[in-house]
Structure 1
Amino acid sequence: MGMCLPCFGGAADDIVVTPDPDPETRRRQLAEAAEKRQKENAYRGVKNPEAVERKRKKQEEMEKQEMTTSASGGGGLKWQVG
């Protein structure tokens, strides 16, 4: 049987103690990790996330243009077929 606990095998010499980072550094690391997880979850199953982002921006631009056109009184009635 192998010895897996440091108190039984003298492996305590192998343990490296690293100092805890200051709270600001830790907070920044946690925020970066959270942003990374959100990005990964947002594009899960999407083969080309750049294309999705371009399409979303184009859609927002068209909606914005439509709002400015309708707000300036340049439309009135819309034709609907169907």
Structure 2
Amino acid sequence: MGMCLPCFGGAVDDAIDTPDPETRRRQLAEAAEKRQQETAHRGVKNPEAVERKRKKQEEIEKQKMSTSVSGSGGGLKWQVG
């Protein structure tokens, strides 16, 4: 889409210049990141606390997985009878 400017010289000063592609790309990336954060924290009063709890839960799950795999002796048992 193009811009329609009147032929009179004074209106050219009111025209909006679009930023260069790199600046525009950066602005769009920042806006997308902001929207993503807002969506992720919608309805949460303290997003930092939620993030800490999530990380702690992941760490606990990792510890459970590592202890259950190494502690079980793993696999088949031989029985001589």
What TM-score results when the alignment is normalised by the length of structure 1? 0.65
Following the alignment from structure 2 to structure 1, what is the Cα–Cα distance between the partners of residues 64 and 72? 10
**Structure 1 stretches of at least 4 aligned residues deviating more than 2 Å after TM superposition:** 15-19
Q: Within the alignment, does 1:36 sit opposite 2:34 as a pair?
A: yes
Identity of aligned residues (%): 73
Structure 1 unpaired stretches of 5+: 1-6, 77-82
| Gap runs ≥5 in structure 2 | 1-5, 74-81
Q: Would you say 1:25 and 2:20 are equivalent positions?
A: no
**Are 1:68 and 2:66 counterparts?**
yes
Q: Highest CA radius of gyration, 1 or 2?
A: 2
Higher relative contact order (CA 8 A, sep 6+): 2
Q: For 1:65 and 1:75, how far apart are their aligned partners in 2?
A: 14
* Residue matched to 1:49: 47
Number of residue pairs the alignment of both structures matches: 64
